[in-house]
Amino acid sequence: MSGYDYRQFLPPPGAKIAGPTARAHAKARLQSPRAQSLFAEWERLFKQPFRGITTDGNIIPDLYALRPEGAPTLAMIEAVHALVTHLSPEQRLAACFPVDSPQWRHWQNTELYVEDYGLRLDEASEPLREAVMAVLRASMSAHGYQLSRDVMRLNRFLGDLVGGPQVLGEWSYTFCLFGEPSTSDPWGWQFFGHHLVLNCFVLGEQMVLTPAFWGAEPSHADHGPFKGIRLFQDEERAGLALMRSFSAAQQRRAIIYHSMMGGDLPEGRRHFADNLHLGGAFQDNRIVPYEGLPASDLTALQRRNLLDLVEKYLRPLPPGPLAARMAEVERHLSQTHFCWIGGFSEDSPFYYRVQSPVTFIEFDHHAGVFLTNPEPAKFHVHTIVRTPNGNDYGFDLLRQHYRTSPHHTHHHGSGGHRHRHGGGTEDRRHANDNRSEP
Q: Give the start-to-end residue ranges of the domains of the chain.
A: 10-215+392-416, 233-386
CA distance 234 to 381: 12
The predicted pLDDT at position 425 comes to 29
> pLDDT digit of tens for each residue in the chain (438 aa)?
346 799 999 999 999 999 999 999 999 999 999 999 999 999 999 999 999 999 999 999 999 999 999 999 999 999 999 999 999 999 999 999 999 999 999 999 999 999 999 999 999 999 999 999 999 999 999 999 999 999 999 999 999 999 999 999 999 999 999 999 999 999 999 999 999 999 999 999 999 999 999 999 999 999 999 999 999 999 999 999 999 999 999 999 999 999 999 999 999 999 999 999 999 999 999 999 999 999 999 999 999 999 999 999 999 999 999 999 999 999 999 999 999 999 999 999 999 999 999 999 999 999 999 999 999 999 999 999 999 999 999 999 999 999 998 765 444 443 333 333 332 223 333 333 332 222
Angle between helices 300-314 and 319-331 (to 10 degrees): 140
The predicted pLDDT at position 22 comes to 98
CA distance 208 to 200: 6
The predicted pLDDT at position 288 comes to 98
